[in-house]
Amino acid sequence: MPIDSGNLALKGLDDLFSTEENRQEEQREQVQQIPIDALHPFTNHPFKVLDDEAMTRTVESIAQYGVLAPLIARPRPEGGYEIISGHRRQYAAKLAGLDTLPVIVRQMSDDAAVILMVDSNLQREHILPSERTFAYKMKLDALKNQGARSDLTSSQVGMKLQALDIVGQEAGDSRNQVHRFIRLTNLIPELLDLVDEKKISFNPAVELSYLDEAQQRDFLQAMDETQNAPSLSQAQRMKKLAQEGKLTYEAAFAIMGEVKKDELDKVVIKNDTLKKYFPRSYTPRRWKMALK
């Protein structure tokens, strides 16, 4: 019986004779040269791009060698591309005067993009507490949206993992520590800045995160006027008063104005007094050595 060629789906020669390797190669992500002004920051990107010494070195390297590692971005509905990984490289490339950047363009859902953005940035050597705080929160929310409840099992203890556990394991933190970092999202920006600047320690900051906004502002004023940083015990006492509805500015000022134990243990002797007991040839440095 003759073959009805009209019923055959004709294919091109390339399709008929292409190998599996060729087809996989075509599907691989390709690096594209994208205009630098078409690349936009990730929405609510929690990691800061700073003009610091490290950035200066990055600019110098890019000016000499170009951008060696491609950025990862996804198309935006309104046009251009949203950077998922490579914000610092894009900023440095602008300073170095580049017009285009090597980019891997990837179609990704919002949650998948958040997870990749957080994971790629958490590899950095220096991360501010505020950056880790909001990065953990964003990743936790994304995992919850994806339904991460009991689909992963820890090989070490054989326990089902919750989203909080997954965030901690992949970042090298405990579940409790992740929760404590996320607590800091409740701090007003001024207090979170003080945590970044190491003027408030992490543990007291966690306790202060339980104060509402008005109470935090009362505390901030009291801290400024007493010129004292809160100890853990002071922060815990203010948290307890806040939970009882008794934390006022006056109460915060009274707590922050307390003389700490380590200050009571110090004995201050003026230089004029010390001169009476040491030879004239002794410098203040030799006084200190002699008194140790």
**Is 221 in the same domain as 244?**
yes
Does residue 178 fall inside a structural domain?
yes
pLDDT of amino acid 259:
73
pLDDT of amino acid 215:
97
Does residue 8 fall inside a structural domain?
no
Does residue 250 fall inside a structural domain?
yes
Predicted confidence band at 52 (pLDDT cuts at 50, 70, 90)?
confident
The predicted model gives 20-24 an average pLDDT of 52
Number of domain units in the chain? 4
The predicted model gives 219-246 an average pLDDT of 96
The predicted model gives 258-276 an average pLDDT of 56
**Is 33 in the same domain as 92?**
yes
**Is 40 in the same domain as 103?**
yes
**Is 173 in the same domain as 224?**
no
Predicted confidence band at 138 (pLDDT cuts at 50, 70, 90)?
very high
The predicted model gives 244-266 an average pLDDT of 80
As a whole-number percent, the residues of the chain with pLDDT over 70 amount to: 74
Q: Is 90 exceeded by the pLDDT of residue 133?
A: yes
Does residue 76 fall inside a structural domain?
yes
Does residue 243 fall inside a structural domain?
yes
CATH of the domain at 47: 3.90.1530.10
pLDDT of amino acid 20:
55
Residue 229 makes CB contacts below 8 A (sequence gap 6+) with 199, 200, 201, 204, 223
| Least confident span in 14-18, 105-109, 269-273 | 14-18
Last residue of a domain, one of 186, 206, 223: 186
The predicted model gives 271-278 an average pLDDT of 57
Q: Is 80 exceeded by the pLDDT of residue 19?
A: no
List the domain range (segments joined by +) for residue 288: 264-292
Does residue 118 fall inside a structural domain?
no
**Is 168 in the same domain as 219?**
no
Last residue of a domain, one of 108, 139, 156: 108
Query: Does the pTM of the predicted model rise above 0.85?
Result: no
Does residue 16 fall inside a structural domain?
no
Q: Is 70 exceeded by the pLDDT of residue 246?
A: yes
Q: Comparing 28 with 214, which gets the higher pLDDT?
A: 214
Number of Cβ within 10 Å of residue 220's Cβ equals: 17
Does residue 102 fall inside a structural domain?
yes
**Is 142 in the same domain as 171?**
yes
pLDDT of amino acid 271:
56
Last residue of a domain, one of 108, 136, 162: 108
pLDDT of amino acid 171:
87
Query: Would you give the DSSP letter of residue 186?
Result: G
**Is 37 in the same domain as 101?**
yes
In our burial notation (b when 16+ CB lie closer than 10 A, e otherwise), range 237-246 reads bbbebbeeee
